[in-house]
Chains A and B, each alone.
Chain A
């Protein structure tokens, strides 16, 4: 079955460490996204990528980095520069075509990151 796989489900980071969250999709979607979810704040966009080897900053990109070397993969690195990384992280994907407008996203099941 096609879908998005995020791993790990739970991740613990020590102060000063970088960690990478994995996101893989087999839906043949062109566009992929990373969102951060905090209580009472909804989902905020970190980074997104519409095609391979290209990505754009979202609203809260500081302290995060991404790569898009393959269509199927869009890993997110939470760097030590991110001062408050404890949150729930959601990856999503969608079609990207001028003839396919307004399609919704397909979401992964999320990664809960905790700083210890």
Chain B
């Protein structure tokens, strides 16, 4: 079974600084997708960024980028120029690639605090 581990229950960053959230996963599959989701205090889940395992290039979305290390099974999220609105719970998630109907497996989450 696939597992996703986020080893940092809590992180904090100063506004305008950069922070990196860690995620590792375990799988024997070669075709899969990785995601980072954000859950603000409203508890609405918001997709931040997505990475296809077959792509070597790291995904980026504006201030958000990932460091995908396939051999190490590591998938960290970097937030640049942190803003107060980035404060949220962040979840790393894994999904097998053979069909988009397959299940998402989530990590335990990292609570990010942004200090003004």
Contacts and interface: CB of A to CB of B under 8 A. Distances in A.
Contacts of A102: 33, 50, 52, 95, 97, 100
- Interface of B, helix, strand, loop or mixed by DSSP: loop
B33 to A, nearest CB: 4
A90 B45 contact: yes
Given A90-B45, A109-B43, A109-B44, A101 B100 contact: yes
Contacts of B109: 40, 42
Contacts of A97: 99-101
B99 A98 contact: yes
B50 A104 contact: yes
Interface residues of B, number: 26
Nearest to B46: A107
B108 A40 contact: yes
Interface residues of A, number: 30
Contacts of A45: 103-105
Interface string A45-60: 1001010000000100
Contacts of B50: 102, 104
B7 to A, nearest CB: 13
B108 A42 contact: yes
Given A42-B106, A102-B50, A102-B52, A96 B91 contact: no
B98 interface: yes
Interface string B1-45: 000001001000000000000000000000101010000001111
A44 B104 CA distance: 9
Interface of B: 6, 9, 31, 33, 35, 42-45, 47, 50, 52, 91, 95, 97-101, 103-109
